[in-house]
Amino acid sequence: MKTPLAGLPVNRFKQRLRAGEQLHGLWTVLADGYIAELLGGCGYDWLLIDAEHAPNDLRSVLQQVQGIAASREYLGELAGEVSHPVVRLPHGDPVLIKQYLEIGVRNLLIPMVETAEQAAELVKAVNYPTEGTRGLGATLGRASQWGRYRDYVEKASENITLILQIESKKGLANFDEIVATPGVDAVFFGPSDLAADFGLAGQPAHPEVTAVIDAALEKALEVGMPSGIMMVDPTAVRAWYDKGVSFAGVGVDSILLTRAADALLESFRN
């Protein structure tokens, strides 16, 4: 017989987001559990596992989530607030959402959300009936520790963070309705795709792009919706924090690796 565990652990990432803390994140695109475990010990508040633009699938994401969990185990109290995995799916497919939830992903970032109707369907996908459409199969998966968390179905929804990425003109046009959708936990601005949609590809910090994000961020702040952004320029990140962004991706593992490797080689060549 399975040994029941104490209640389902509270999602501290969601708690801290709601509390208005500023949470620093790192993008990981190298698609490897060993690297995720290494990064999990660095102390970032959250790690974004990218299944949209990186060579990730369900199995590789599982390995990375397990790697981050392992870093938590051996660091223990030294880790303080440990890194929380956030997974960006390739798209908002309810079938994919169900699978990622079953392997224990509790923080989802869904790209290219453009309408309130789309937002409402995504909310349904992360909730069990009668509020949603998620299938009942948790006892078969890691999320409930294969049924050992007896209260999983009861408490799952309140411990899932649904973050919607706004990265198009259409998404901005429908922004008010999207953030008003019950069950949406946060929004995330994508400056690069927004720049491309405005005919400014490769210029995510262009004043026109900054201005439209500023306007949307102000609306989000008015209704108490946490907002995030991705910027690898530290000065730009600090400026967005000052404006009210509550969580930011401040770097990418592949960029950090290539820059450090290039700089080391250059130091010898010189």
Q: Which residues are marked as active site?
A: 53
ω into 130 cis (within 30 of 0): yes
Q: How far is residue 178's CA from residue 83's CA, in Å, rounded to a whole number?
A: 28
Question: What is the phi-psi region of residue 105: left when phi exceeds 0, alpha when psi lies from -120 to 50, beta otherwise?
Answer: beta
Nearest to 20 by CA among 225, 230, 235: 225
Nearest to 95 by CA among 142, 47, 135, 35: 135
Quick one: tokens of 210?
A: 């900054």
Which amino acid belongs to residue 252?
Answer: V
Confirm if 29 and 252 have CB atoms less than 8 A apart. yes
Confirm if 221 and 210 have CB atoms less than 8 A apart. no
242-254 b/e (C-beta count within 10 Å ≥ 16 → b)? eeebbbbbbbbbb
Q: What is the dihedral of CA 68, 8, 139, 54, to 10 degrees?
A: -30
Question: What is the phi-psi region of residue 199: left when phi exceeds 0, alpha when psi lies from -120 to 50, beta otherwise?
Answer: left
Residue 25 CB neighbours (<10 A)? 21
